[in-house]
Structure 1
Amino acid sequence: MQKLNFPTYSFRFKNNENKVSIFDSIRKKFVILQPEEWVRQHCINFLINEKNYPISLINVEKEIIINDLKKRYDIVVFKPNGSIYLIVECKAPKINISQSTFDQIARYNLNLKADFLMVTNGLNHYYCAMDFKNECYNFLADIPSF
């Protein structure tokens, strides 16, 4: 897999029927290693190891309903009170981050009401703070640590 713009982490892999899987410490299972999953697993480790977010507050790949459509978010970090602190949208490294990527996460956030957004393709990371009063988001240099 491609080297990403994250610190180096150690991962558990398994090979089954010529398909490589990577262990997801949040879902507590092996998942097929696709380029987007490679980015997701690095991002999870970044949130835990660099930003000190507790594993117990992180949720991965859950279904949500947006305008009667079933969607899945990549990563959500909750506050201790159960409200959502951060939504992360992961893309494969070959996918360029565009306005449509931000539109996607903004649509999710209409329902989820997170304070912060992160969009990454593993090579480029973008961070935003929500401004609900003015209905916009402001770009940040980084996301806050826990």
Structure 2
Amino acid sequence: MIPLNLPDYEIKLSGTPDKPAIFDVLRRKYVSLTPEEWVRQHFIHFMIEHKGYPLSLLANEVNLKVGEKKLRADSVLYSTELKPRIIIEYKAPNISITQKVFDQITVYNMLLHVDYLIVTNGLQHYCCKMDYASKKYLFLKDIPDYKNI
């Protein structure tokens, strides 16, 4: 896997050369090591270890339903009252972050109504604070620390 624009952490790998797996600290199990999963695990560790986000309030692969359509948010941060606060969307490092990616996360937010949206491919990271009064999102320069959200 390629180096990312994220801090290193103690990676736990398993599986075989044909089917490698990486430990997901949130799901507490080894999952298939794909380029997107490589980004997810690095970013989750960054949020917990460097930004102070509580492990207990984060969830991976959150199922959502819009009518008959089933969707899955990559990661969600919840408040202590279990209200969704942040949706995080991951892409593989070779996938460009485009408007289409933001459109995808916006669909998830129609259900969850979070305060922040984060999109990352491990090399570029974008964080937006939702402004529901103006019906837009405001790009932030950095991912906020947990204490500042």
What's the TM-score, normalizing by structure 1? 0.96
The residue that corresponds to 1:35 in the other structure is 35
Is contact 1:116-1:143 (8 Å) kept?
no
Letter in 1 for 2:142: D
Is contact 1:89-1:120 (8 Å) kept?
yes
The residue that corresponds to 1:128 in the other structure is 128
Q: How far apart, CA to CA, are the structure 1 residues paired with 2:112 and 2:40?
A: 19
What is the total number of aligned residue pairs between the two structures?
A: 146
CA offsets, 1:79-135, max 9 Å, x none? 111111111000001100000000110110010111001000000000100001111
1:85 matched to 2:85? The reply is yes
Structure 1 stretch 67-76 or stretch 95-104: which is displaced more?
Answer: 67-76
Specify the SS of the correspondent of 1:4.
Answer: coil
Specify the SS of the correspondent of 1:72.
Answer: strand
Letter in 1 for 2:28: K
Specify the SS of the correspondent of 2:2.
Answer: coil
The residue that corresponds to 2:102 in the other structure is 102
Pair 44,10 (structure 1): closer, same or farther in 2 beyond 3 Å: same
CA offsets, 1:38-65, max 9 Å, x none? 0000111011011111110000012111
Structure 2 unpaired stretches of 5+: none
1:18 matched to 2:6? The reply is no
Over aligned residue pairs, what C-alpha RMSD do you find?
A: 1.1
Q: How far apart, CA to CA, are the structure 2 residues paired with 1:139 and 1:71?
A: 25
Q: How far apart, CA to CA, are the structure 1 residues paired with 2:85 and 2:142?
A: 14
Offset at 1:18?
2.7
Pair 95,17 (structure 1): closer, same or farther in 2 beyond 3 Å: closer
% identical equivalent positions: 46
Q: How far apart, CA to CA, are the structure 2 residues paired with 1:68 and 1:132?
A: 26
